[in-house]
């Protein structure tokens, strides 16, 4: 029996430095029945030349050179519309795939009878030296994934699906498109993971089959978001803006959600708008906060409730926590 063809979607832009390494890692997979569909977004470096060279050497490559810059989201949409196979994967131009990534992804999807499979990855620097052995542990995602993998919640409050680890079924593309662009805080992999979770089943691979390269502007944001801030006001403002962007997008695309979730999304958007400029106590939105976070750990629930609804006490809590972390780092 012939193996299913899998379309691998690769958007590129000025990626000459690491592109060959990634192309080699994809084309040398143990699973050979792939079609590599590439869209270059008007690169100004030697990326198009490299792509043309590889297309000449491997007939599995399907290359599109855009005539004008269309941006990241439109680039992903363009590639999704080019999918011909029953399955597709997403790829970044600067990572390195381990040889069995495709094989293990399709194996897991079929074994779990899932509609989308995603996985953990190893975070490396520009020279492929390990920075963090597990992206899921570093970003505190694994507990959430294990708890919510059978629910839409796995990609509802926060994004747990890293795009470059995804393998999914073509049949969901129609539901995914168009990808919303209302907020910079809801990116394409968040939306893809959520739409499939709302309509199908997700599966997770804890094994790492990608070296997730960090370099220049492509840095994991955790140090900035979770550990780098010394000011609780900054943390609170960012958190609220993220939620406003996410729930604003959900409300603007209400047809993707059940009636119950539509109502919850509207309440959540109103809640975060209401607390945005509140500096003192705010218990008006306790019910919606509780509905959103009731299944979280007690510590996470209490900390976030204090920071969101009791900013003054949140400031004290943050100073204590930051002080403890500084002491621990000195040891």
Task: Tell me the DSSP string of 132-178.
Answer: ES-HHHHTT-HHHHHHHTTSGGGGTSS----GGG-EEEGGGHHHHPS
Tokens of 202: 């997700």
Spatial separation of the C-alpha atoms in residues 315 and 306, rounded to whole Å: 9
Residues of the chain with CATH 3.90.550.10: 6-213
Confidence tier at 327 by pLDDT (50, 70, 90)? low
* Residues 303-325, mean pLDDT to the nearest whole number: 70
> Is pLDDT above 60 for 329?
no
Structure-derived torsion over alpha carbons of residues 171, 66, 178, 186, reported in degrees to the nearest 10:
110
Of the two residues 72 and 329, the one the predictor is more confident about is 72
- pTM (two decimals): 0.90
> Is pLDDT above 50 for 222?
no
Percent of the chain's residues with pLDDT above 90: 74
DSSP 67-123: SS--HHHHHHHHHHHT--SSEEEE--TT-EE-TTHHHHHHHHHHHTT-SEEEEEEEE
> Is pLDDT above 80 for 224?
no
- Domain covering 6-213, topology: Spore Coat Polysaccharide Biosynthesis Protein SpsA; Chain A (3.90.550)
Burial class (CB in 10 A: 0-12, 13-18, 19+), 156: buried
Spatial separation of the C-alpha atoms in residues 272 and 286, rounded to whole Å: 11
pLDDT in tens, 26-65: 999 999 999 999 999 999 999 999 999 999 999 999 999 9
* Residues 69-77, mean pLDDT to the nearest whole number: 97
């Amino acid at each position: 029996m012939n193996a299913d063809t899998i379309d691998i979607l690769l958007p590129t832009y000025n990626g000459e430095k690491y592109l060959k390494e990634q192309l080699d890692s994809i084309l040398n997979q143990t699973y050979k029945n792939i079609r590599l569909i590439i869209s270059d977004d008007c690169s100004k470096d030697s990326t198009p030349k490299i792509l043309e060279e590889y297309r000449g050497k491997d007939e599995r490559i399907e290359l599109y050179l855009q005539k004008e810059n269309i941006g990241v989201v439109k680039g992903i949409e363009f590639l999704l519309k080019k999918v011909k196979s029953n399955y597709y994967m997403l790829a970044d131009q600067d990572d390195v795939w381990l040889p069995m990534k495709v094989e293990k992804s399709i194996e897991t999807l079929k074994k779990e009878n899932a509609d989308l499979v995603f996985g953990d990855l190893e975070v490396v620097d520009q020279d492929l030296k390990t920075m963090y052995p597990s992206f899921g542990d570093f970003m505190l995602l694994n507990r959430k994934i294990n708890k919510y993998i059978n629910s839409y919640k796995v990609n509802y409050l926060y994004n747990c699906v890293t795009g470059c680890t995804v393998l999914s079924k073509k049949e969901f593309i129609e539901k995914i498109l168009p990808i919303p662009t209302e907020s910079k805080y809801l990116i394409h992999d968040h939306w893809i993971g959520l739409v499939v979770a709302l309509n199908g089943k997700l599966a997770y691979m804890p094994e790492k089959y990608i070296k997730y390269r960090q370099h220049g502007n492509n840095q994991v944001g955790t140090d900035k978001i979770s550990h780098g801030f010394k000011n609780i006001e900054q943390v609170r403002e960012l958190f609220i803006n993220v939620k406003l962007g996410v729930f604003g997008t959900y409300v603007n695309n209400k047809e993707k959600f059940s009636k119950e979730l539509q109502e919850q999304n509207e309440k959540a958007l109103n809640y975060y708008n209401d607390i945005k400029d509140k500096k003192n106590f705010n218990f008006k939105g306790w019910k919606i906060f509780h509905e959103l976070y009731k299944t979280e750990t007690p510590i996470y629930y209490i900390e976030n409730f204090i920071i969101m609804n009791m900013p003054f006490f949140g400031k004290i809590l943050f100073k204590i926590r930051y002080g403890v972390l500084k002491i621990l780092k000195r040891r």
